[in-house]
């Protein structure tokens, strides 16, 4: 595949200029030894992406004829077909910013392995001919395309790239023979599944637009136009509904959050190619509505397992285990919300979407890291019923948990999207999507806007940037952000043609101080822009607000809203954890300073008790006593009552 083809799929066709924020052509990181982001990247690679057995296991599913439509209960209408592509997408993103040659070789071997599973008709699927285009078949075929497309962004082998493109075309062409307008004797895309009004099948829009970008063949754009015309749902045209801007997503005819957002990701790619403003506006209005009605204090959506449900209002209501199975705030939703906000940030340049990505990453996403790794057997057995119960091993090394509690509860209630393999091992959907969260943060940390380069997130270490016009910069970032709110950026290399250097000022930082080479800068607006003739050794220091905020539920009429409050320092949400000794249901009555902030002290001594935690805080109560808090992302990591945790604290 030519470099020009790579640019087309990476940037959104020939019209990436429709974005107000652009992804840099290349970002390479040299992480500081103390960098949390670097350590998290190593964790994801070591526990998941370097697992060659797992890659082979996922590819093997495409060789088991009809593995996802076998009539045994544990197989029927399954989604093993999503695992490979979902994990390959995240792995390719991680490989792109980490420049890990070993990881690249593993991914290349897996791609070559997958290509051997394509049958003579062009199909790469886990469904048999008899049952194809039912259940989650199109959903899985979508992920085959996406996994291959994201790998293309890092592919170094021209011959392999061309082979991949040909395989994708055969795969996509076969689908187009059978899925399409009823007037042509085909099955409409919204009727190719019984699930969620066809949202899952319609989300194949995104890879078809990207395939057009790669090949330039109009039939793929025409097919994308057909999918858009169907409105992504047989019960309601969600694109028209979003454009009308009269309903929130939780009021749509179908409310499956992950699948719906995936459809809007495809719509944004379609806009970039076509320039049809209606679809840009529809996607942006959808994004703002989600921000308003369905994002919780940890940055996820869905308090009724994986559904939009007005979560901003409902988030203080304890989970109803009889209806929701004790699960909420799904990791698949977290990562897909981050990906959707990434698309919206590119389109709008609005800080609100960068803030939302950060909120999700620091709290919900990192909270899903299974750093404890060993899940007690009694929890595994509680998750199972029927014949599966005897097959569950006593532990799992899946790197990501699937659901996150908000009020007092334990983590690890259920493995989301769990499916078994023939050897009685299993995996889950949330584990597969997890690495994409790291990939998105690596991709957006330094972006381009009309003024030059722009910091969206602050990662300790050295970042090498190549802009879309080929200019290069090297910036050293000294920080423990977000667990410290002090950031120092040293310019080591700078091409004057780049222009200015901007810094996102998060909404939570009401008091920000900045200096360049010791001289104070004016900090105004959502982004602070520094424009000057940068020289090697120039230092920009930014000190964000490090005061503790009390956060009240955004809707006073939400269930139990008057009962709870949350506490945060910077983007880091704090939580109670039973390991710290305080009873989770004891009320917190903090002291307040003259500006309405909560006095606190950092408690480094508690790292001896929970060594893998990131932050410990003593919150000062009005009576002079302290409440010991931990960062939410580190709370609950024994997955038992021992570490029962809560983000919303009783007041």
pLDDT over threshold 70, residue 358: yes
Q: What is the mean pLDDT of residues 71-75?
A: 51
End-to-end CA gap in the chain: 59
Q: Is 133 helix (H, G, I), strand (E, B) or coil?
A: coil
pLDDT value of residue 177 = 98
- Residues of the chain with pLDDT > 70, as a percent, come to 91
**Domain 446-543 classification at class level:** mainly beta
pLDDT over threshold 70, residue 374: no
The position carrying tokens 């395309």 is: 145
Q: pLDDT confidence of 342, banded at 50, 70, 90?
A: very high
Q: Is 420 helix (H, G, I), strand (E, B) or coil?
A: strand
Q: Is 548 helix (H, G, I), strand (E, B) or coil?
A: strand
Q: What is the pLDDT of residues 542-552, one digit of tens each?
A: 999 999 999 99
Q: What is the mean pLDDT of the chain?
A: 91
pLDDT value of residue 470 = 96
Q: pLDDT confidence of 14, banded at 50, 70, 90?
A: low
- Residues with Cβ within 8 Å of 542's Cβ and at least 6 positions away in sequence, in order, are 486, 487, 488, 489, 503, 512, 513, 514, 528
Q: Do 326 and 319 contact (CB within 8 A), yes or no?
A: yes
Domain locations in the chain as residue ranges: 35-404+421-441, 446-543, 549-650
What is the CATH number that goes with domain 35-404+421-441? 1.50.10.10
Q: pLDDT confidence of 408, banded at 50, 70, 90?
A: very high
Q: E strands within 4-60?
A: 22-23, 26-31
The residue among 448, 449, 444, 454 whose CA lies nearest residue 501 is: 454
Cα–Cα distance between 125 and 8 in angstroms, integer?
26
Q: Is 647 helix (H, G, I), strand (E, B) or coil?
A: coil
Instruction: List for the chain the helix, strand, coil content (%; round to 5).
Output: 45, 15, 40
pLDDT over threshold 80, residue 415: yes
Q: Is 221 helix (H, G, I), strand (E, B) or coil?
A: helix
Q: What is the mean pLDDT of residues 302-307?
A: 92
**Which residues share a beta bridge with 500?**
452
Cβ-based burial of 58 (10 A; exposed 0-12, middle 13-18, buried ≥19): buried
- Residues with Cβ within 8 Å of 566's Cβ and at least 6 positions away in sequence, in order, are 297, 550, 551, 573, 574, 647, 648, 649
pLDDT value of residue 247 = 98
Q: What is the mean pLDDT of residues 453-482?
A: 97
Q: What is the pLDDT of residues 607-630, one digit of tens each?
A: 777 888 999 999 999 998 999 999
pLDDT value of residue 388 = 37
Q: What is the pLDDT of residues 243-297, one digit of tens each?
A: 999 999 999 999 999 999 999 999 999 999 999 999 999 999 999 999 999 999 9
pLDDT value of residue 377 = 38
pLDDT value of residue 311 = 96
Taking the complete model, does pTM exceed 0.75, yes or no? yes
Q: What is the pLDDT of residues 106-125, one digit of tens each?
A: 999 999 999 999 999 999 99
**Which residues share a beta bridge with 576?**
646
- Least reliable range by pLDDT among 6-20, 61-75, 223-237, 349-363: 6-20
pLDDT value of residue 609 = 79
Q: What is the pLDDT of residues 505-527, one digit of tens each?
A: 999 999 999 999 999 999 999 99
pLDDT value of residue 395 = 35
């Amino acid at each position: 595949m030519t470099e020009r083809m790579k640019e087309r799929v990476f940037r959104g066709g020939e019209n990436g200029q429709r974005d107000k924020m652009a992804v840099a052509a290349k970002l390479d990181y040299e992480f500081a030894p103390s960098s949390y982001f670097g350590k998290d990247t190593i964790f994801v690679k070591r526990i998941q992406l370097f697992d060659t057995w797992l890659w082979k296991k996922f590819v093997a599913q495409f060789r088991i004829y009809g593995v996802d439509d076998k009539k045994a209960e544990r197989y029927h209408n399954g989604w093993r077909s999503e695992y490979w592509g979902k994990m390959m997408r995240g792995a390719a993103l991680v490989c792109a910013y980490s420049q890990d040659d070993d990881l690249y070789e593993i991914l290349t071997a897996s791609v070559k392995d997958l290509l051997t599973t394509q049958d003579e008709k062009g199909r790469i699927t886990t469904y048999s001919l008899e049952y194809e285009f039912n259940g989650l078949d199109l959903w899985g075929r979508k992920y085959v395309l996406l996994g291959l497309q994201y790998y293309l962004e890092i592919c170094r082998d021209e011959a392999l790239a061309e082979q991949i493109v040909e395989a994708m075309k055969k795969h996509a062409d076969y689908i187009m023979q059978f899925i399409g307008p009823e007037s042509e004797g085909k099955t409409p895309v919204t009727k190719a599944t019984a699930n969620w009004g066809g949202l899952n099948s319609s989300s194949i829009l995104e890879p078809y637009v990207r395939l057009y970008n790669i090949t330039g063949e109009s039939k793929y754009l025409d097919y994308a136009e057909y999918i858009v015309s169907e409105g992504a749902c047989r019960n309601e045209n969600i694109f028209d509904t979003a454009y009308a801007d009269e309903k929130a997503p939780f009021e749509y005819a179908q409310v499956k959050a992950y699948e719906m957002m995936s459809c809007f990701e495809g719509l944004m790619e379609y806009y970039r190619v076509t320039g049809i403003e209606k679809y840009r506006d529809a996607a942006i209005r959808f994004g703002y509505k989600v921000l308003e009605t369905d994002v919780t204090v940890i940055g996820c959506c869905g308090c009724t397992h994986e559904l939009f449900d007005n979560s901003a209002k409902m988030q203080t209501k304890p989970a109803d285990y009889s209806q929701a199975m004790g699960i909420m705030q799904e990791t698949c939703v977290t990562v897909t919300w981050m990906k959707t906000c990434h698309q919206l940030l590119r389109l709008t340049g609005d800080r609100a979407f960068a803030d939302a990505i950060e909120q999700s990453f620091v709290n919900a996403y990192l909270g899903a890291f299974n750093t404890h790794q060993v899940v007690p057997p009694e929890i595994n057995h509680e998750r199972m019923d029927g014949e599966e119960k005897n097959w569950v091993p006593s532990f799992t090394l899946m790197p990501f948990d699937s659901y996150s509690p908000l009020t007092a509860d334990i983590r690890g209630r259920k493995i989301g999207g769990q499916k078994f393999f023939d050897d009685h091992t299993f995996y889950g959907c949330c584990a597969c999507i997890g690495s994409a969260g790291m990939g998105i943060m690596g991709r957006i940390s330094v972006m381009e806007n009309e003024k030059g380069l722009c910091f969206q997130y602050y990662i300790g270490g050295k970042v090498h940037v190549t802009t879309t016009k080929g200019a290069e910069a090297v910036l050293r970032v000294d920080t423990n952000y977000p667990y410290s709110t002090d950031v120092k950026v040293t310019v080591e290399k700078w091409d004057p043609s780049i222009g200015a250097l901007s810094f996102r000022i998060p909404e939570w930082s009401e008091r920000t101080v900045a200096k360049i080479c010791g001289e104070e800068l004016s900090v105004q607006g959502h982004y602070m822009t520094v424009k000057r003739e940068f020289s090697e050794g120039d230092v920009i220091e930014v000190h964000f607000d490090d005061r503790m905020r009390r956060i009240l539920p955004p809707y006073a009429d939400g269930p139990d809203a008057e009962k709870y409050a949350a506490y945060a320092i910077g983007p880091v949400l704090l939580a109670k954890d039973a390991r710290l000794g305080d009873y989770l249901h004891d009320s917190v009555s903090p002291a307040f300073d003259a500006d309405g902030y909560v006095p606190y002290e950092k408690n480094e001594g508690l790292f001896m008790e929970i060594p893998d935690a990131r932050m410990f805080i003593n919150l000062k109560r009005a009576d002079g006593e302290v409440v010991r808090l931990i960062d939410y992302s580190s709370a609950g990591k024994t997955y038992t009552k021992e570490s029962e945790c809560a983000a919303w604290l009783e007041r």
